[in-house]
Structure 1
Amino acid sequence: MPVESNTPSDVPSGRDLRIATRSRADNWTKPPRRIETSECITCDSCLRGCPEQFGAIFDRGLDVVIIPELCSGCPVCVLECPVDCIYVDADWTPTDDAMWSHIALTGEGTA
């Protein structure tokens, strides 16, 4: 007999929930990371290395950006970056509506 869940299947969870609410997970204690665009060579190593459960790094035109609401602060992208242009962003600001629209249009916010 199947086990019933109290959570409807259409309720987002994990990354999808963070995208839907445009907020970071409450249990994340590390600040997000940021990419210094003036130092970045746009190699996309960080984008490819970002763990799928976070999926926090996106191409935005000629720049690669980290969405702070999706970034747990883990060091994976830092370790992947060949030019060391990724830093802790303790003073991060919320992501603008245009970028959230980009995420929605590209379908990168859905599992």
Structure 2
Amino acid sequence: MNDTASAAPSAPSGRAQRIAERTRGENWKKPPRRIETSECITCDTCLRSCPEEFGAIFDIGLDVVIIPELCSGCPACVLECPVDCIYLDEDWTPTGESVWNHIELTAGGAR
């Protein structure tokens, strides 16, 4: 019997798994970040500074948003934001279906 033929395909890991499951990393202790859209100048600096393994920041319509399920709470975006409009989101709510549909459409390519 060929071991490779009987091996099941591997499950997605990391960011792809969080997108598939729509959940935050189990070991993430910090709350996710959020962007205060009324203060944001839509420069996309935060989007470009978000580490690829998280890829939590998206342009959705005219707003730049952080998807809490993909955000580890690291300060990379905060350190780069020129207008200081990114805050901890202690009371985050799950991301809505329409946003997940956008993420799934863009997950294969560049953010």
Query: How high is the TM-score relative to the length of structure 2?
Result: 0.89
Moved over 2 A (4+): 7-10, 107-110
Q: Deviations over 1:21-74 (max 9, x none)?
A: 000011000000000000000000000000000000000000000000000000
Query: Does 1:59 find its partner at 2:59?
Result: yes
- Corresponding position: 1:83 with 2:83: yes
| Unmatched segments (≥5 aa) in structure 2 | none
Backbone CA RMSD of aligned residues: 1.8
Residue of structure 2 equivalent to 1:34: 34
Query: Which residue of 2 is the match for residue 49 of structure 1?
Result: 49
CA drift of 1:105 comes to 1.3
What residue in structure 1 maps to residue 95 of structure 2? 95
Structure 1 unaligned regions, length at least 5: none
CA distance in 1, matches of 2:57, 2:35: 9
Which of structures 1 and 2 has the bigger CA Rg?
2
How far apart, CA to CA, are the structure 1 residues paired with 2:65 and 2:108? 14
**Conserved in 2, the CA contact under 8 Å of 1:68 and 1:94?**
yes
Aligned match of 1:22: 22
Q: How many residues align?
A: 105
Task: Tell me how far apart the structure 2 counterparts of residues 60 and 93 of structure 1 sit (CA, whole Å).
Answer: 17
Instruction: Give 3-state SS (helix, strand or coil) of 1:59's partner.
Output: strand
CA pair 108-59 structure 1, distance change in 2 beyond 3 A: farther
Q: Is the 8 A contact 1:19 1:109 kept in 2?
A: no
Shift in CA distance, 8/30, structure 1 to aligned 2, threshold 3 Å: farther
Post-superposition Cα deviations, 1:57-101, rounded to whole Å, max 9, x if no partner, equal 000000000000000000000001000000000000000000000
